[in-house]
Structure 1
């Protein structure tokens, strides 16, 4: 089953602590930004992680891919688009596009995908409840 097509837009600014001596954002920051976008999308869908966890579910990361195209730099304004790209009873995939926003327009910096498996609090794979699947799909 494919995702809803619903997206979340998250604005971020590259902080000094996220850069190297040349002012270039470190590659390890991109997955952190993806997590921010994913959290925003889950809130927008009415499914905050906190609520899922209270219901007995974790969405554990099982795969992460980042395709770097251009460097983000200190103080760049970024816009991250996050969407659910695939929903199954026990797994989810999220897709990401990260753009730099400036007066001249938008520039694609990176794309990515994360895969997640739903587990119970004992870390055993678990089928997500129908209402959660419906909100995601």
Structure 2
């Protein structure tokens, strides 16, 4: 199976830090969303298009492992990968680094729903894009 990934640059902004200049833990899921959005766009599946076709990729789970503190004005690189893809669910994994130093890892789990929030099967072309053409 092809590894599908994207890289997104993150610069820690002052507003994202506490009084000690350390990035607040609540920012990491926001940064993960940046990576996920970039990856989806790279795959030719911008969220706007997926939603226009009548689907939501609702968040059903989130985990973050904090390894090192990110600080004000740090230049970070976020690698986002497509994890497991099923007909109605998918995962993304994240690795956030400052140079060679691992800052955090994480995972988000999503369920595909229709506009009425009922679980829905993803269309074949969406599944193909998310799996790199492999059987999902």
TM-score category of the 2 structures, normalised to the smaller one: over 0.9
3-state SS of 1:59 partner: strand
Distance (whole Å) between structure 2 residues aligned to residue 122 and residue 7 of structure 1: 30
Q: Structure 2 stretches of 5 or more lacking a match?
A: 132-136
1:36 counterpart residue number = 34
Distance (whole Å) between structure 2 residues aligned to residue 94 and residue 12 of structure 1: 18
* Offset of residue 108 of structure 1: 0.3
Q: Does 1:119 align with 2:119?
A: no
1:5 counterpart residue number = 3
CA RMSD of aligned residues (A): 0.8
User: 11, 14, 28: which is aligned to 2:12?
Assistant: 14
List, as ranges, runs of 4+ consecutive aligned residues in structure 1 with deviation greater than 4 Å: none
Distance (whole Å) between structure 2 residues aligned to residue 86 and residue 36 of structure 1: 19
TM-score by length of 2: 0.95
My pick for the range that moved more, 4-13 or 54-63, is: 4-13
* Offset of residue 4 of structure 1: 3.8
* Offset of residue 34 of structure 1: 0.2
Distance (whole Å) between structure 1 residues aligned to residue 83 and residue 50 of structure 2: 19
Distance (whole Å) between structure 1 residues aligned to residue 70 and residue 88 of structure 2: 34
